[in-house]
Structure 1
Amino acid sequence: MRSNQRIDQWSQQVYQTLDLFQENLPRGLGLNIVFDQTPYVEDRLNSLIINLLLGAGCVFAVTVLMMGWRSALIVGCALPLSGLMVFAGMQWLEIPFHQMSITGLIVALGLLIDNEIVVVDEVQNNLKMGLKPIKALKKSVNYLFIPLLASTLTTVCAFLPIALLPGPSGEFVGTIGVNVIIALTFSLLISLSIIPAITVYFPPPNSDPSSFLPLRWFNEGFSWGWLTQKYRWSLHQLFKYPILGILLALCLPIIGFMQAGTLQEQFFPTADRDQFNLELEFPASTALAQTRSQVLEARQLILEHEGVKNVQWFIGESEPRFYYNLVEGRKNEPNYAQALVETESPEISRALIPVIQKELDKVYLNARVLVRPLEQGPPVDAPVELRIYGSDLDILSDLGQKFRQELSQVSHVTHTRDSLSENLAKLGLQIDEEKSRLTQFSNANIANQLNSTLEGVTGGTIVESSEELPVRVRVNGLQRGDLDNIRSLYLTENRQSVPFTSLGNVTILPEINQITRRNGQRVNTVQGFVEMGILPSQVLSEFQKRLENANLVVPSGYTLEIGGESAERNNAVGRLLSLAGVLTIIMVTILVLSLGSFRLAAVIGVVGICSVGLGLFALWLFDYPFGFMSIIGSIGLVGVAINDSIVVLTAIKDDPEARLGNPRAVREIVIHSTRHVLTTTFTTTIGFVPLLLGGGGFWPPLAIVIAGGIFGATLLALYFVPCSYLLIKRT
């Protein structure tokens, strides 16, 4: 299927074609649909769309609670407007409507209305102060233009590494960054044009303290006098001792960084699918008929398990690429077979994988059995890999056996293999030179006749339909497969037939199946496969400790390199960081120009760094592993978390008394900014609820990092930033 096709429409055309083809098949022949991706795609897209609508509803409900129904309706206008503009941008950039693009919209959901919340709150405050609508509009837009532009540009810079990420990881998650950037750009335009114009035509209601409390909250937003009083008291106390406020605000980020080393590492989690893979690899000399017999036996064993719907085997080659990150490439290997196992649910698949692995290991002692779940992210040949580079094949093979032995003793490793251990049987000819000269047989002549006899010669062609097929003539399979029959072959020269045994002897010699190379160098790749539910990083760490204790010496000229999931993670992170340096300089430049101070820009920079610590703290608190999606979330978090801090710091700078470091004036500015800071925090956080409710191991780490970081960054904006400003003014 072409990349610009919709699978639901394309599959209908395929089924129509198959129906016509089946009608013309001879009696007794039929078609069996092995796999259809359409239901999986439709189910995933429907789930994401439901999550998107659920997130939009939650965001609107939180806005009603925090700002009242009038403000919520005005802010809510930004969601469909921005959404339509994003769809137009996707159409213009030719971004398809798939899992990642929809997820980008979910990630941007809470961010879409952050600017609108700030604008609506500011315009309404100006209207309450008695300004005319047009003046309130102009004053609000002029006042917020620079801080909103700066916060949007810094957030865009934070998501640019994701959008521009090269390689397989970039192809996988790049659309998330692109859609967030598109959404933020249109959100800024709407917040500075349409939203303030609507707000002035719907002025806020006059506050009536005597009205029914829930009704007042519904009109004006949540407000609790006792809580406001305690909040004002906390600001008053901490602003008297700003160093104390700074230290308290930094506690959680510091704990997060301290606990980062204890987090388990997982590059990409397994997929929640009712399918899994099974590989059987017998010794290299195994014939195709033997493999087929063993595979049919394995199929019956698997079907006996409750919950298994079907098992489809592909003998001698890899299965078709029915899932996006499957590794293909094995062809014409009679000792190899791969199966697609379908079950009734993802839960049954997860439960059966370790059971079938142990069962088949006991049955097929001479085979390598790999039962693996489908995984997310870029393809990886094996979870744990060690590559040995060198020139001499014997040394490479010997080193591979030693490292493989160490890897096999690591706990939770099911199977190991190395790329140079597989040997094929090869005929070795030992020619008696004196006898061959007497009979006038040259070595080349002997080799050519044996090759023609055993491998065959083209004797003609036959035409089948429109294809011309060559006909190869050779001795039958029984004679080719028996060493004694080969020895009894006759060779002919000048009308003279001579038994081959009179000229020499035939022996079977082992030969390396293939010489593997990587980047032009000979390499022996040692691979390890782990049990279901065990993190590869855990196995790799234990393997490295065993290597240190074993004191294995690598000869001069030979090098080692870690591969597998660890290498893919390091490559992906390296590509991200290669872009981060330039974008960090751009972000710093934007902050310095908008705030007019290097020291204030440094304060915002500390907020960005601390937000990463807060995200790590959330991962540790909810016991999620640290993987690629966590890294993606941390990078995006830096740009999002500093938005409220920029708005608060700009408000302090623009107030004449607060600018001079007056604690009372700074306190009033912070209290004035608290409502829209809390509202943006809650709406952004609540926008990630659908990703959390979706379960699984793929999206929750991303959502936890961003939501946890933003929630904690609120404390930084309301306490750390003003305390830092007061401390700077005092010093």
Structure 2
Amino acid sequence: MVKFLINRPIAVTMAFIGVLVLGITAASFLPVSLVPDVDIPRITVKIEAPGYSARELEKGTLNNLRMYLMQVNNITEIQSEARDGSGVINMEFNFGTSIDLAYIAVNEQIDKASSSLPKDIPRPVVVKASASDIPVFYLNISLKGNDATTANNSIKNEIDDSFIDLSNFADEIIRRRIEQLPQVAMADMSGRVFTEIVIIPYIDKLNALALPLEKIEQAILKNNITLGNLIIRDKQYQYNVRFGNRLLNEEDIGNIYLNHNNRIWQIKDFCQIITQPQNPVGLTFSNGNAAISIAIIKQADAKMQSLKTELHKLVEYFKQDYPQIEFTITQDQTKLLDYTMSNLSQSLYIGAFLAFLVMFLFLKDYRSPWLIIISIPSALIVSLLGFYLMGISINIISLSGLILCIGLMIDNSIIVIDNISQHRERGNTLDLSCINGANEVFRPLLSSVLTTCSVFIPLIFLGGLTGALFFDQAMAITIGLVVSLVVAMVLLPVYYKLFYKKSTTTKANMLNKINTVNYQKLYSKGFAFVMRNQLFAWIIFIFLLFGTVVLYNISPKERLPGIERNEIVLFIDWNENIHLNENNKRIFSLLEQTKQRIEHSTVYSGRQQFMLGSSKTSNEQQAYIYLKCHSENELNRLINDINSFFGLNYPFATINFNDAENLFDMIFAEQQPPLVVRLRPLNDYGYNSSEYLQKTIVKLQHEFPEINFSEIAVNNYIELLLNTELLALHQADASVVKKVISRAFRQNQLFTIRNSQNIMPVIIGSDNKTTSSILNNYTVTNNSGIEIPLHLLLSQSNASDLKSIIAGTEGEYYPVEMNIAAKNLDYVTKKVQSCLREDNFYEAGFSGNIFSQRELVKELVIIGTVALLLLFFILAAQFESLRMPFIVLLEVPIALFGALIMLQIFGESINIMSMIGIIVMAGITINDSILKIDTINRLISSGMPLLRALITAGHYRLKPILMTSITTILALLPFLFIKGFGGDLQKPLALAVIGGLGLGTFVSLYFIPICYYLFYKKRK
């Protein structure tokens, strides 16, 4: 084929230009996103139940829903959490389950369960998740100059009308404008404040006129006519008739007429009617200003850069059109994609430049290095065409595959160019050199491509989301390697002939005068030493194998490398029954004392309104704060200041510091503690659960003093008990008592007014009072019309219960987190079960990250075995031998020592990035060995003696091995000194490749010939 192509340069050029045009065109249609659009096998059901306690919600609602939802197919785990006023059910499915069908099935089960649910609870909301649901930006909207703090660190407790107007404006204008962008799938909002109409009766006036409050309620309801449209036919015409007496605002309610004692009154004569903000259960603040936070969700097939450009342009328009409003973009996730794109271009530029320089110095030729400049960009562009045909988007996973491919692409090109140059140096004609030089390395290069792919492709069989994401990386590497092989075998020989067509000598005289190190002579001396001291070389080999095992065992292991950060998230639970205003007051007291270290802050206090994603806070006593500093040092000082603040002022509060969310953490970070003990009650302890739990936790703390157990989250509340005996004695009705209490606490909702997209409740009640004043001042009218003091019928007591009640397939349980080492799992579980059997209050179930890690290790062992078998099969087919593959595979554990020792020296752990670096390093070193063994085999087949073939093959392959290794190592060296997120992420990969490739180069040069000689020295 090469012989045919080198004589048709115009045809080859036109064909490649055509393919390049298709690649460039395909690139413009490829979606650009953070991650592949993969369905996460998770569905969340959210329940809003105002007025219900956590235990009431669990017993009456969530328990029934779980029973129905467990009938949905392919569920692996179901977990519910009940809190005061709300609940959530999380369902995990087998990976590969159609989430669209599961979503339909879940809704069907909810419809079946609706008859058994309380009638006053709205229908549960079902949310399905995908990887593209990760917010790309958060847009915070606040009023300028509306600082929520004052000089004495107190917060404004009243939400004014201006913020209510901002809330409505953000929902009706800003959100809609954002969602009109074709790149935006959804604008998810939180921090909104809603209004309500409150009717406060003048009790004294009503008593004076003997006007019962029920009569006012009936008059209001009778005048709110909402019967819908009526259709009236008049001969050939048809008309829609509707009632116009619908109540729309406080003025309409106040103007309602009422006949009492034969006199016409209006409702405003007996009641004060006001429109006011509803008591918020959660608020958002941006840099101290009350704000609306909008999470921007990208369309799955949209380009990330296009979204970023359009959103920033739209925000600039907003700033010009609404100068009184502050718009702030925070938590920008596109920086990770921007870094990956810049890393790709940097790898391309640095790799091509270094390959150009190394080839220039080694080949002493100014023509052949330019072939690298042509081949690598061509291969990348054609790879994008492969992306389009395979349906792969441009994301950080697929781009990381292309970045890894660049080094291997350069290696393929160097090997082909060097082999053709060697044939010219031996005196062959240009045509024959191009033909034989390319054909000789085709089989070993094909084996190299297949062996590299055989390492990455099995990773797609990893379970869960990780395996689905690795599909993009494996396909990107496969496409890139196949394309680079085609370019190296088709384009390079043709252009090599064109470049050297008019050249009569193989090297320019000027370049020959450049004195470089005589590496051929150094190699000969080293080879001779190794061959004379083979026993010493084998001792070193065994030592390195032993060192590899030791280094692996002592190296720390984690999912992600330690990354320099200037952002953090602070979670606060005050563990007190405080109001939301007190929560905010304390938060801003903290921010005021630490403001000199904070560049930006976003506070999410109380329950948030985001539809997608799990809520970070569950009640008004919790807060979630995003903090950004100027540097990591400032961040560390801020953490110390925060710890000091809570230690001095609020020692009973629970605080947790977490890294600010980024894409890698969301996908790869550990979601569970090492071990979770699920304490399942053996009896229904009801509202006494916290007492039994406290006894059990104290006992566990005594058994495991080295573990710090978290405090039990308890909610203290006031319990009103109805005295049924006195109720019967005074002939009072319990429903009347309930209605009086509802009015007193402003929980008596008459109806709702729908205005645009908002729903405004109309409530009749009194001024806010304490529980004691309500019991002492309110009365209940019995069946005889006599007023009975409320405190005679009700008694008040203090009680407590768990803040949240968690349940699963096994029923209700309490999770206890234990941070233990994996090797102690069996001992800890047996000890926990023994401890629980003594009191017989609870039994234990176990879950946690240790179990998922064990499953992952099992999967990796299977996948590693499959990869090794594939490697062996490919190498055996390449060499037509069952012994030669072992020679190549022996190189991997030695090179692994170099990777691990570099990680150890620089204080890095074994993590995802370093493991990818090890795989890449193994691919490059194996490629070098394949080429060397193939050269030895060819020389022996031509009749050359074994020892002479080893020496000659070593000289033939010395230059390409050195060029590929030096190019790759130099290209990765800058990552060791780059600071920031990108440098920290790539440093373990660079160290693994540099260390492994550095040692692997010596293995390819010296150890492979020793192994070959040992295996075949008796062959004639």
Q: Which has the higher strand share?
A: 2
Amino acid at match of 1:33: T
Classify 1:61/1:339 alpha carbon distance in 2 versus 1 (closer, same or farther; 3 Å): same
Q: Quick check: 1:684 aligned with 2:968?
A: yes
Matching residue within 557, 582, 588 for 1:265 = 557
Determine whether 1:467 maps to 2:758: yes
Query: Which residue number corresponds to residue 417 of structure 1?
Result: 710
Separation in structure 2 between the aligned mates of residue 718 and residue 364 of structure 1, nearest angstrom: 65
Bigger radius of gyration, 1 or 2? Answer: 2
CA distance in 2 between partners of 1:330 and 1:92 (Å):
40
Question: How big is the shift at 1:569?
Answer: 6.0
Residue 115 (structure 1) aligned with residue 429 (structure 2): no
Report the alpha carbon displacement of residue 627 of structure 1 after superposing the two structures with TM. 1.9
- Displacement of 1:661 in angstroms is 6.8
**Following TM superposition, by how much is the alpha carbon of 1:146 offset from its aligned partner in structure 2, in angstroms?**
1.7
For residues 346 and 954 of structure 2, the distance between their equivalents in structure 1, rounded to whole angstroms, comes to: 34
Q: 2:800 aligns with which of 486, 510, 520?
A: 510
**TM-score, length-normalised on structure 2?**
0.61
Task: Within 5 Å, give how 1:199-214 maps onto structure 2.
Answer: 199-203=496-500, 206=505
**SS state of the match for residue 267, structure 1?**
coil
Q: Report the alpha carbon displacement of residue 273 of structure 1 after superposing the two structures with TM.
A: 4.3
1:372-383 matches, cutoff 5 A: 372-374=658-660, 377-379=664-666
1:386 aligns with 2:675: yes
Per residue, is there more helix in 1 or in 2?
Answer: 1
Distance 1:140 1:657, change over 3 A: same
Please give the alpha-carbon distance, in whole angstroms, between the structure 1 residues aligned to 2:695 and 2:513.
76
Tell me if 1:456 matches 2:747: yes
Deviations 1:601-624 (A, max 9, x none): 122222223333332122123321
Do the aligned partners of residues 555 and 622 (structure 1) sit closer, same or farther apart at CA in structure 2, a change above 3 Å counting?
same
- Contact preservation (8 Å) 2:700, 2:835: no
In 2, the alpha carbon distance for the partners of 1:571 and 1:397 equals 33
Residue 310 of structure 1: how far off its partner (Å): 3.0
Letter in 2 for 1:693: F
Whether 1:366 and 2:622 are equivalent positions in the alignment is: no
Distance 1:461 1:255, change over 3 A: same
User: 1:626 is aligned with what amino acid?
Assistant: I
Measured after TM superposition, the shift of residue 381 of structure 1 is 7.6
SS in structure 1 opposite 2:326? coil
Whether 1:129 aligns to 2:426 is yes
C-alpha distance 628-455 of structure 1, shift in aligned 2 (>3 A): farther
2:799 counterpart SS class: strand
Query: Which residue in 2 is equivalent to 1:247?
Result: 539
User: One-letter code of the match for 1:462?
Assistant: I
Q: Which range moved further: 719-728 or 630-639?
A: 630-639
Aligned residue for 1:256?
548
Aligned residue runs from structure 1 range 171-210, under 5 A: 175-203=472-500, 206=505
Pairing partner for 1:349 from 622, 635, 638: 635
1:45-84 equivalence runs, <5 A? 47-48=342-343, 51-52=346-347, 53-68=349-364, 69-84=366-381
Q: Which residue of 2 aligns with 1:88?
A: 385
| Distance in 1 separating the partners of 2:745 and 2:704 | 41
d(CA) in 2 for partners of 1:407 and 1:687? Answer: 50
Distance (whole Å) between structure 2 residues aligned to residue 398 and residue 684 of structure 1: 61
For 2:797, give the aligned amino acid: T
Which of 567, 586, 589 is equivalent to 1:297?
589
Alignment partners' CA distance in 1, 2:306 and 2:354: 33
Aligned-pair CA distance for 1:153: 0.6
Q: Encode CA deviations 1:506-531: one digit per residue, 9 max, x unaligned.
A: 32211112222466565544458xxx
Match of 1:688, as an amino acid? L
Offset of 1:118 from its aligned partner? 1.6
Q: Deviations over 1:141-187 (max 9, x none)?
A: 33222211111111112222456655454577665444333221211
- Determine helix, strand or coil for the equivalent of 2:801: strand
1:612 lines up with 2:896 in the alignment: yes
- Aligned equivalent of 1:330: 616
Q: CA deviation at 1:191?
A: 1.4
CA distance in structure 1 between the aligned counterparts of 2:655 and 2:954, rounded to whole angstroms: 63
Q: What residue identity is the alignment partner of 1:674? A: L
Shift of 1:471: 2.2
Within 1, Cα distance between the matches of 2:638 and 2:894?
43
Residues 225-252 of structure 1: CA deviation (Å, up to 9, x unaligned) = 4x53342133234334544433334544
Query: Structure 1 pair 193/17, CA: closer, same or farther in 2 (3 Å)?
Result: closer
Measure the CA separation in 2 of the matches of 1:381 and 1:505: 49
Question: Which aligned pairs between 1:535-574 and structure 2 lie closer than 5 A?
Answer: 540-541=820-821, 553-555=834-836, 557-563=843-849
Number of residue equivalences: 696
Q: Where do 5+ consecutive residues of structure 2 fail to align? A: 1-297, 682-688, 838-842
Shift in Å at residue 558 of structure 1?
1.4
Q: Separation in 1 of the partners of 2:623 and 2:504?
A: 73
How far the C-alpha of 1:361 sits from its partner, in A, is: 3.4
Q: Distance in 1 between matches of 2:758 and 2:929?
A: 71
Contact kept, 8 Å, 1:257 with 1:617, in 2: the verdict is no
Deviates more, 1:548-557 or 1:719-728: 548-557
Give the deviation of 1:19 after TM superposition.
5.9
Deviation of 1:593 after TM superposition, in Å, equals 0.8
* Equivalent position of 1:693 in the other structure: 977
Q: Which amino acid aligns with 2:629?
A: T
SS of the aligned residue for 2:586 comes to: helix
Structure 1 stretch displaced more, 679-688 or 593-602? 679-688
- CA 1:459 to 1:576, structure 2 compared with 1: closer, same or farther past 3 Å? same
Q: Secondary structure at the match of 1:33?
A: strand
The 1:642/1:675 distance shift into structure 2, 3 A limit, reads: same
- 2:332 is aligned to 37
Gaps of 5+ in 1: 529-538
Structure 1 residues 676 and 49: CA distance shift in structure 2, 3 A? closer
Q: Which residue of 2 aligns with 1:534?
A: none
Q: Determine the C-alpha separation between the residues in 2 that align with 1:346 and 1:354.
A: 13
Q: Would the alpha carbon gap of residues 708 and 181 (structure 1) be closer, same or farther in structure 2, given more than 3 Å must change?
A: farther
Shift in alpha-carbon separation, 1:483–1:30, aligned structure 2, 3 A: same
Using the TM superposition, give the Cα deviation of residue 459 of structure 1 relative to its aligned residue in structure 2, in angstroms: 0.9
Query: Cα distance, 1:136 vs. partner?
Result: 2.8
Out of 289-298 and 161-170, give the one that drifted further: 161-170
Check if 1:717 corresponds to 2:1008.
no
**Secondary structure, in 3 states, of the residue corresponding to 2:985?**
coil
- RMSD, matched Cα: 4.0
Q: Does 1:282 align with 2:571?
A: no
The offset of 1:272, in angstroms, is: 3.8
Q: Distance in 2 between matches of 1:42 and 1:729?
A: 51
Tell me what 2:1013 maps to: 726
Q: 1:98 to 1:319 in 2, by over 3 A?
A: farther
Q: Which has the higher contact order (CA 8 A, sep 6+)?
A: 1
Change (3 A) 1:288 1:401: farther
**Quick check: 2:457–2:471 contact (8 Å CA) kept in 1?**
no
What's the secondary structure of 1:37's corresponding residue?
coil
Tell me, in whole angstroms, the C-alpha distance in 1 between the residues paired with 2:773 and 2:705: 39
Which residue identity lines up with residue 720 of structure 1 in the other structure?
F
Q: Residue 85 of structure 1: CA displacement? A: 1.8
Which residue pairs with 1:533 in the alignment? none
Structure 1 41/681 Cα, relative in aligned 2: closer, same or farther at 3 Å? Answer: closer
Pick which of 698-707 and 608-617 moved more. 608-617
Give the AA of the match of 1:604: V
Q: Is the 8 A contact 1:59 1:687 kept in 2?
A: no
Which of 358-367 and 491-500 deviates more?
Answer: 491-500
Report what 1:643 is aligned to. 927
Cα distance, 1:497 vs structure 2 = 4.5
CA deviation after TM superposition for structure 1 residue 496, in Å: 5.2
